Amino acid sequence: MRRVSPFGNQSFVFVDHGAVKGNSIMVTADYALVAQIRFRELKTRVALAAFIGTTAWFMAPSLWPAVWFGAVLFTQLIDWAVFRPLRQRPDMVVSRGYEALCCLTAALTVVVYSSMATYLWFNGGEAGLLFAMIQVAGGLLHVCLHMYHSRPLLLSAAAMHGLYFLGLPVVEAVLTRSFEPLLLAVGCILFLTHLVVAVRQNLATTRALKAANREALEQGQRAEIASAAKSDFLAVISHEIRTPMNAVMSAANLLRRTRLDPRQREHVSMLVDAGDVLLGLLNDVLDFSKIEAGKMQLEVADIDVRDRLRSLVRLWEQRAMANGVRLRLEIPAAIPEVVRVDPLRFQQILFNLMSNAVKFTEAGEVVVTVGWAPATSRLSVAVRDTGVGIPADRLDKVFNSFEQADAGTTRRFGGTGLGLTISRRLAQLMGGDLSVDSIVGQGSTFRLELPVEVAVDAAQQPLRQDVEPLSLSGRSILAADDHEVNRRILALLLEPHGCRLTLVENGAEAVEAAALERFDAVLMDMQMPVMDGLEASRRIRLGGLNADTPLIALTANAMDVHRAAWDAAGVHAFLTKPIDPTLLAQTLAEACAVPRNDPDRAVA
């Protein structure tokens, strides 16, 4: 019972599932996988055949090892040719005839490769007999572990190994008329039994793994579809909510500029405050969605720590005083003047913390304390209040999505429960953290810690030069928006600044107007009939009187994907609705002041 080389036609040691990625897990994929592995290990099989032939010649010198090696090369050539179509076209349909040819080829290579076991069994003495048995046993093990994914090929190869494995001891017993070789055959049967059990278990495990992988892939695809649907839904909702909010908040801001009696002014203030709350909730939902999708992007810039915190305190000071609460800011002298951090997200986190502190404090004070750790270059801002506090069993949940301290919190104070979730996620994205300590009835302390880079001290920065304030007086502005109310709001907001406004209803009209007259700036909505704002912007950029005119996106499409689309179109600035009147005027004035080429050029 010599051994058929374990590296005969079964040298498929490493099953590369990536080689059949995209193919169905059926006969075609199985055969294509085998074809690729066999080709990859062809050189190894030939090298091992040379080694086995040389060893056999030393054990039993004769011409047979050389003849055997030549036969091996011939069968390997046949094997290479038969499996070549599958290597070239892994997705080809395997017919019954081709399947039979592959199986016959696998059997032939094993028969030839294993024939050396017979030679060594009868001519190599005890060492040759032992060598042959180990080789055949190894070949069987190798085949069963690495060809089980293709049952026809496995049976074709394993059957040939089995004939040598069991046949050699039986033939020996018949020729010698001795029962001792049969005892060796019994041992071979036991080995085969254990091997079958191992293969079945391995096959079951592999099938379960494949099923799990398919399920994971399907779940991932479903999750991607759901995520895309959620993004589309949020984009639509954001646009549809911002459009009427623009009218409401802009009308309220315009109304505030008129002469009002105290009661009317109070009503307008209530309207503006309610609009700010709605806008804040909408922004929270969008931010939460971006963080969940891993699409939140951070931008680092220099900020004056003291100025930024004083501005936030001033923003909330009147609200706190109205509640009978004192708001204090404590900044030690050791705090750096200027640090590098994401200004928007830094302010957003502290805005949420101060909002909560003022909202949940009915008496006492809110204290904002700044700390600095030079050794670790970490800036900390603690917001401490004397409010209602948070129960100990709820502390770990206040940072969970849509969670608040208790069921009555939303009814009493409002909010979605997203503010703290977003704040902690932002802090962690910036490399820091947000923590809380609280005692019921005594108050809470939220502590923000961020790693920052110290920038040039304010004292070392050059003194700011007094710059003449920018103005829109006499400027010519082109504005495209398909909503009549939005166009009316733009007129009411901008005409008092002394600019001349040209209003059009869609992108096609904007392109036509830009071809006839030179403007100082162009305001462009995104979703419009006939031609959208992006296409109109691209056409204006192609050439003509306004090819280098600053374009400003003014749209209710406020998601990052929309911002990226506008950046690609080459806009000067990206503004979202509801319109911030001050920011709109400032952005337009800055855009109009940008130097441009000589206006006397041909129209494209």
Q: Which helix (H) or strand (E) holds 592?
A: helix 581-592
Summarised one tens digit per residue, pLDDT across range 575-585 is 888 888 888 98
Q: Collapsing DSSP states into helix, strand and coil, what is residue 360?
A: coil
List the one residue out of 82, 93, 90 whose CA is nearest residue 20.
90
What are the DSSP E strand ranges found in 145-215?
A: none
Summarised one tens digit per residue, pLDDT across range 316-349 is 888 888 888 899 999 998 899 899 998 888 888 8
Provide DSSP, 281-345.
HHHHHHHHHHHHTT------EEEEHHHHHHHHHHHHHHHHHHTTEEEEEE--TTS-SEEEE-HHH
Q: Is the peptide bond before 578 cis (omega within 30 degrees of 0)?
A: yes
What's residue 27's pLDDT? 62
Q: Kindly give the residue spans of alpha helices, DSSP state H, lying in 433-580.
A: 484-494, 507-516, 533-541, 560-569
Minimum mean pLDDT among 99-108, 123-132, 267-276, 390-399: which range? 267-276
Euclidean distance between CA atoms 286 and 302, whole angstroms: 26
The residues, any chain, with a CB within 8 Å of residue 299's CB and separated by 6 or more, are 342, 343, 344
Q: Which helix (H) or strand (E) holds 137?
A: helix 125-146
Decide: 489 and 254 in contact? Cβ < 8 Å: yes
Summarised one tens digit per residue, pLDDT across range 473-500 is 899 999 999 988 889 888 988 988 999 9
Amino acid occupying residue 286:
L
Q: Which pLDDT band holds residue 392 (cuts at 50, 70, 90)? A: confident
Mean pLDDT of 504-521: 93
Q: Collapsing DSSP states into helix, strand and coil, what is residue 485?
A: helix
Q: Express as a percent the part of the chain with pLDDT over 70.
A: 86
Assess whether pLDDT exceeds 70 at residue 68.
yes
Euclidean distance between CA atoms 10 and 31, whole angstroms: 13
Euclidean distance between CA atoms 146 and 53, whole angstroms: 24
Euclidean distance between CA atoms 90 and 231, whole angstroms: 37
List the one residue out of 193, 137, 129 whose CA is nearest residue 165.
137
Assess whether pLDDT exceeds 90 at residue 417.
no
The residues, any chain, with a CB within 8 Å of residue 148's CB and separated by 6 or more, are 154, 199, 202, 203, 206
CA 222 to each of CA 78, 231, 278, 325: distance values in angstroms, whole numbers, following the listed order: 45, 14, 32, 50
List the one residue out of 547, 489, 551 whose CA is nearest residue 518.
547
Assess whether pLDDT exceeds 70 at residue 17.
no
Decide: 425 and 433 in contact? Cβ < 8 Å: no
Pairing of β 301-304 and β 433-439: unpaired
Q: Collapsing DSSP states into helix, strand and coil, what is residue 501?
A: strand
Q: Which pLDDT band holds residue 145 (cuts at 50, 70, 90)? A: low
Decide: 452 and 427 in contact? Cβ < 8 Å: no
Q: Which pLDDT band holds residue 3 (cuts at 50, 70, 90)? A: very low
Assess whether pLDDT exceeds 70 at residue 148.
no
End-to-end alpha carbon distance in the chain: 89
Summarised one tens digit per residue, pLDDT across range 444-467 is 999 999 999 887 654 444 444 444
What's residue 93's pLDDT? 81
Summarised one tens digit per residue, pLDDT across range 208-244 is 888 888 888 888 888 778 777 776 777 777 777 777 8
What's residue 175's pLDDT? 84
What's residue 524's pLDDT? 94
Summarised one tens digit per residue, pLDDT across range 525-557 is 998 999 999 999 999 999 889 999 999 999 888
Amino acid occupying residue 39:
F
Summarised one tens digit per residue, pLDDT across range 80-92 is 998 888 888 888 8
The dihedral through the CA atoms of 170, 175, 176, 177 has a sign that is: positive
pLDDT greater at residue 317 or residue 409: 317
Amino acid occupying residue 365:
E
Mean pLDDT of the chain: 80
Decide: 5 and 49 in contact? Cβ < 8 Å: yes
What's residue 228's pLDDT? 72
What's residue 501's pLDDT? 93
Summarised one tens digit per residue, pLDDT across range 348-362 is 888 889 888 888 888
What's residue 146's pLDDT? 67
The dihedral through the CA atoms of 389, 390, 392, 396 has a sign that is: negative
Q: Express as a percent the part of the chain with pLDDT over 90.
A: 17
What's residue 159's pLDDT? 80
What's residue 518's pLDDT? 93
- The tokens describing 439, both together, are 């005692």
| 470 DSSP 8-state letter | P
Decide: 503 and 491 in contact? Cβ < 8 Å: yes
Pairing of β 551-555 and β 521-524: parallel
Assess whether pLDDT exceeds 60 at residue 21.
no
Euclidean distance between CA atoms 89 and 158, whole angstroms: 27
Question: What are phi and psi for residue 371, nearest 5 degrees?
Answer: -130, 160
pLDDT greater at residue 274 or residue 407: 274
What's residue 8's pLDDT? 35
List the one residue out of 477, 384, 488, 507 whose CA is nearest residue 439.
384
Euclidean distance between CA atoms 8 and 3, whole angstroms: 11
